[in-house]
Amino acid sequence: MTPSPNADSVCQFAQDGYFIREAVIGLEEIEQLRSAMSSLPDGEEIRRKTNVYGVRNLFDLSPEVRALAGQLSIRNLVTPILGPRAFAVRAVFFDKVPGANWSLAWHQDTTIAVNGRGEIPGFDGWSQKIGVWHVQPPVSVLANMVAVRVHLDECSNDNGPLRVLPGSHHQIWTTAQVVEWKSSKPEIICPVGCGGVLLMSPLALHASSASKSVLHRRVIHIEFAAQNLPNGLDWYRRIGPASIYSARGSD
């Protein structure tokens, strides 16, 4: 399947900071991705109880996820927003199950994974997570990114779906501003079917509740960008058409 967002979806992303597209990934591929996530070898990137429920640096661990990020069914959703040179830069995995369940307060995703540390104006809050440098870049970088959340299970109102505040993706918000925005704008709950995708600006204010279900809520979260970083800084990974890989960032 190679769906493309129609004009309404692209307009919704520009206006609201997100949109949902159902039935992007077929059931056979979903089963392959589920199997790949459950069979990842133990390591510091893996959070596991009975099942794997969280994974960082997923591109380093899973060829199936690298392939997912480069396939047309995903890229055809991203390139109308970021352009044909878009590439994936980070992937993580989440699952909410009994014993590994959580809620997230309203927040924005304001850090990126990069190939090293440097003193660069506008890049602040450096930290290392599982050996990878992360930093908060200027808003202009985050505003030209798209997060693609691929759902490996039905995500209903009962198992911790994402909640978003439409139109909140144009700046970085202080805590006080978040409270003010939330009091004036209704939140939108985003249930997504198995094989469906939610595209979101990392700047969109979003939250999620703990799951009330005993069923899985497996999501592969892939972030895309389309611009180079300044002063020799580079993305930790670039997954996209071979013609746009850099020698430093590609696999």
Q: Please report, for the domain that includes residue 22, its CATH number.
A: 2.60.120.620
d(CA 196, CA 24): 5
CB 134 within 8 A of CB 113: yes
Residue closest to 172 by CA, chosen among 203, 206, 140: 203
Percent of the chain with pLDDT over 70: 87
Q: In angstroms, how far is the first alpha carbon of the chain from the final one? A: 25
pLDDT at position 48 is: 55
Model confidence band, residue 53 (pLDDT cutoffs 50, 70, 90) = low
Model confidence pLDDT, tens digit, residues 221-246: 999 999 999 999 999 999 986 444 44
Average pLDDT, integer, range 169-189: 89
Least confident of 103-107, 165-169, 192-196, 240-244: 240-244
Q: Is the entire prediction scored with pTM above 0.85?
A: yes
Residue 7 lies in a domain: no
Residue 2 lies in a domain: no
d(CA 166, CA 96): 24
Residues in Cβ contact with 8 at an 8 Å cutoff, skipping those fewer than 6 apart? none
Residue 210 lies in a domain: yes
Residue 203 lies in a domain: yes
What 3-state DSSP class applies to 136? strand
Whether residue 248 has pLDDT greater than 60: no
Residue 181 lies in a domain: yes
* Number of domains comprising the chain: 1
Q: What angle do CA 55, 86, 189 make, to 5 degrees?
A: 55
Average pLDDT, integer, range 163-185: 90
